[in-house]
Every structure is written in C-alpha cells, then in structure tokens.
Amino acid sequence: MGKSTVSAFFKQQGVPVLCADEVVHKLYSAGGAAVAPVGAAFPSAVVDGAIDRAALSKCVVGNEAAMKQLEGIVHPLVEQERKQFIAEQGLDAVAVVSAPAEQQRQRVMARPGMTADKLEAILARQVPDAEKRRLADFVLDTGCSMQQTEQQVLQLIAALQGRQGTAAARALGRAAEQ
C-alpha cells in the first residue's frame, strides 16, 4: 500500500489527484506523447506502438547517458501535464506519501522484475524521502494499516475543506453538488 492506494482514497472522496507515475504510463501508452521521441532515441523500447517499460529499462539502467537522454524527453512532458493540471484544478497544498525506508524497499522488491540493482538505480535518481517530507505541506504515512492510512486521508480532506478557497474545498463542493 502506498501512493496508488492513497490516490484512490482521495479520488473516492472527489479530490483531484495528479500522480506522476500515472502520467508516465499515459505518455508511454499507444498514442502517448512520449512514444515517438522515446522510440526515436531507443527504437527497441517500442512494441506495438507503445513503450515497453521492460525493454526501455534494458536500454537505460546502468547507462547514465541514456538515462539522462530519457529524462530529457520524459520530464518536460510530465511537467507539461503537471502545469495543465495545476491550471485546471488550482494547487494549494502538496501532500507526500511516505513509509519507513525498509517497508518501502520490501514493497518495491516484491514487484515483478525488480532487482536490488534496479531499486538502487531508481533511489539514486529520486529526491530523498526526508527532503520530500520537508518540502510537503502534509505527510501521509503509509507505514501503518490501510484503515489508518484512509483515516489520515479523511482527516487531511477535512482540514482542507476548512480552508476557504482551496482547490480541495472547491472540488469537494463540486462533488457534493453532483
């Protein structure tokens, strides 16, 4: 349980959520904006008109220049989606989803095809969890039960509803009207 679960809890309550992982999946899918430029850089990564993540991983993991090239293609596309989301929804607060490091590691290592080397390469490219926590307005700790995590989400929504003019309050107001 982690970002996807928390995102689902927010969405169930009518709160708009932008998940960068979901944006990348959309960009990599058939017809996605990343398919052509990533395919031009890494032709073997395109299968049936979409980016095959396993094939792409073979092209870039352990190859710093290739990884930078991929990031140079994908990051601006994700940023464009983020800016569009902010323009459409407004942004008042940033919440980070976090769990203890060992628990995060266990969850990621349980994914199909994940190796310790891949995980270390991913972690080396990410903003450290402590920094994410420091920059966030709210931290949702998923190192607990699903029910406790859902309770944190509901408490955050209640807090945001009380803040006049927030995007969450506006979105929840629209959801209540429907």
pTM of the complete model: 0.71
What element of type H or E holds 138? strand 138-141
Separation of alpha carbons 8 and 4, rounded Å: 6
Number of neighbours of residue 106 by Cβ within 10 angstroms: 11
Region 114-132: mean pLDDT is: 84
Q: CA–CA separation, 115 vs 110, rounded Å?
A: 9
Please name every residue paired with 141 in a beta bridge, in sequence order, or none if there are none.
Answer: 98
Rg (CA), the chain: 18
Within 10 angstroms of residue 77's Cβ, the number of other Cβ atoms is 18
Does 55 score more than 90 pLDDT?
Answer: yes
Question: What pLDDT score was predicted for residue 172?
Answer: 57
pLDDT (0 to 100) of residue 129: 87
Question: Is the model's pLDDT at 115 over the cut of 80?
Answer: yes
User: Does residue 162 carry a pLDDT above 80?
Assistant: no
